[in-house]
Structure 1
Amino acid sequence: MKTTTRTAMNGLLAVLAALAMHAVYAVQPGDDPNKVARWLDFKEGTFKDRPIDTHGDPVIKFDAPARAADAAVVPIAITAQFPQTPTHYIKKIYMFIDENPEPYLGWFEFTPESGLASLETRVRVEDYTYMRVIAETNDGHLYSAVRFIKASGGCSAPAGKDDAVAEASAGAVRLQPEGQSTPGKPQLVQLMVRHPNRTGMAMNQVTRLYSSAYFVRKVAVTYVDKPVMTANVNFSISENPNFRFYFVPRDGGLLKAHIEDTKNKQFDSQVAIGPHPAVQQTSATTP
């Protein structure tokens, strides 16, 4: 009798432990055990033992296609569910694509000057995978949103241009505010960067050799010299990186973007916001 009771108790504890792990680590029903273990490794390496609220819808929403039309250019949208204020805001968004060669895509940092911590971009997806967004609020809490996507070959797909031509044309940067600027009201802006963003896993169709990795690694956007959006990312961002995000215009000032890539080349662009005519300026520097 005691043995039976002990066995039943051990079974109950195992079930409770499994349920607790599901709640904390955002394990999805039907996950391959090896893939689950892989995600838990990423989670532990990035967040240690910090709890993650898996019911993050009141904080962040994450949209991605269920099946990608092109695995090398997958549109995603991360939407904040409340405005940025000095007392309550989303400080950082981390992104993981579990089955990519480098699952940790990177992070995006926001401030109250962002107005909204929402972001749209395009990513590469190498295999059927879970994509995970973890939002960190300024009080240190973590919230997750998870989507499953069917796509394959996005990181190993050949580039559309000759490597030398693509690299020579890299560096054009454009900031494009959308709509009329209203002081104090969040305004959408698009940042476009011409860059091959090579993964190092695609075969050059002319030479039949693998092209070396070469990609944008850092993006920093400021308005009147205050941070709006900063990103540390890798080759999981698609060729010719494109980001849509928000900032809060004031009576006038310069919106600036600074880009750095893995060859330490730097590219800059700025646009005047407010009562002055919008003037786009772009420059590039090499080490």
Structure 2
Amino acid sequence: MKLILALIPVTLTASLALAEPEKPNNPLADGTTWRDLKGDVVGEAAILDGSALFSVTAPYRANDAATVPVTIEQTDAAADPIESLKLVIDENPAPVAAEIRFGPAMAPLKFETRVRVNQYSNIRAIAETPRGIFMHGRFVKASGGCSAPATKDPVAALKDMGEMRLKLFGGKGEVQKARREAQIMIRHPNYSGLQRDQITQLFVSAKFITELVVKQGDELLFALDGGISISENPVFRFSYTDNGAPDFTVHAVDTDGNVFDRVLPKTPPA
């Protein structure tokens, strides 16, 4: 009987943890880390509340810490365009996951990617517009994302490296200049340098995409400087104004100096 009674508090605690409700609105949490980071990320610039300008969507509790989806969407389409964005994960070893410049065709912005989250952390989107710098974000419960093992055998991962796929959303009958949505997927292990080889247990050297430029024809859609926090096999989903060019061009460079240039037709072959 004493043993059963002793187990009751543990059982109740476990049940409460499992029953913890998901938060549909997981705001940025207070913490000291951002105060230490802020100067390195934005310098002395004033930061305005971005919650009225754009939304940030990320799960309160991530299913997979190595592939946490993050979506930034401009909610005030009449406002000034978001010209650039810094995606910051406070508690990651390298907090700045990406710095991204956007071309005019990306306005109003809707942009999604997947990131690694190493421990419970705020994820911040810091957007620059002609009127100033705005910040908004979410608090995400996830851990181990930067050191999570790769999902693919290293030999196979390197063999497929640089392959790209394009997926378009919306009907074929949409006219030029229409607002459309696309997704570009890139095969690349994006090793963080914190993962271990599952056989030797030695650390796998960092190898990730540092530069990515996506255009439609000659027009820039976005240019990204990436770090270790962008997930394996990066995925970028975005809205854009179609200029009628027949294809996307993608230019990517990784830390080893490998260059991947691809032409992705907007109309898939019949």
Question: Are the counterparts in 2 of residues 97 and 103 from structure 1 also a CA contact under 8 Å?
Answer: yes
| CA root-mean-square deviation | 2.1
Amino acid at match of 2:44: D
Question: Are the counterparts in 1 of residues 28 and 138 from structure 2 also a CA contact under 8 Å?
Answer: no
> What is the TM-score when the length of structure 1 is the normalising length?
0.78
Question: Are the counterparts in 2 of residues 84 and 115 from structure 1 also a CA contact under 8 Å?
Answer: no
Could you tell me how far 1:84 is from its partner in structure 2? 8.2
Other-structure match for 1:171: 162
Could you tell me how far 1:271 is from its partner in structure 2? 3.0
Q: Does 1:224 find its partner at 2:217?
A: yes
Other-structure match for 2:101: 109
Could you tell me how far 1:115 is from its partner in structure 2? 3.6
Question: Are the counterparts in 2 of residues 171 and 194 from structure 1 also a CA contact under 8 Å?
Answer: yes
Q: Distance in 1 between matches of 2:145 and 2:86?
A: 20
Amino acid at match of 1:155: C
For residues 232-247 of structure 1, what are the structure 2 equivalents within 5 Å? 232-247=225-240
Say which SS state the counterpart of residue 90 (structure 1) adopts. coil
Other-structure match for 2:67: 73
Match of 1:142 among 119, 133, 143: 133
Match of 2:40 among 31, 36, 45: 45
Q: Distance in 2 between matches of 1:172 and 1:42?
A: 35
Kindly, what percent of the aligned residue pairs are identical? Answer: 35
Question: Are the counterparts in 2 of residues 175 and 257 from structure 1 also a CA contact under 8 Å?
Answer: no
Q: Distance in 2 between matches of 1:135 and 1:170?
A: 31
For residues 13-92 of structure 1, what are the structure 2 equivalents within 5 Å? 31-32=30-31, 36=32, 38-54=33-49, 56-83=50-77, 88-92=80-84
Aligned residues: 242
Could you tell me how far 1:238 is from its partner in structure 2? 0.8
**Residues 57 and 182 (structure 1), Cα distance of their counterparts in 2 relative to 1, 3 Å cut:** farther
Could you tell me how far 1:227 is from its partner in structure 2? 0.5
Say which SS state the counterpart of residue 192 (structure 2) adopts. coil
Q: Give the 4+ runs in structure 1 shifted more than 4 A.
A: none
**Residues 84 and 278 (structure 1), Cα distance of their counterparts in 2 relative to 1, 3 Å cut:** farther
Q: Distance in 2 between matches of 1:49 and 1:214?
A: 32
| Unaligned residue ranges in structure 1 (runs of 5+) | 1-26, 281-287
Say which SS state the counterpart of residue 83 (structure 2) adopts. strand
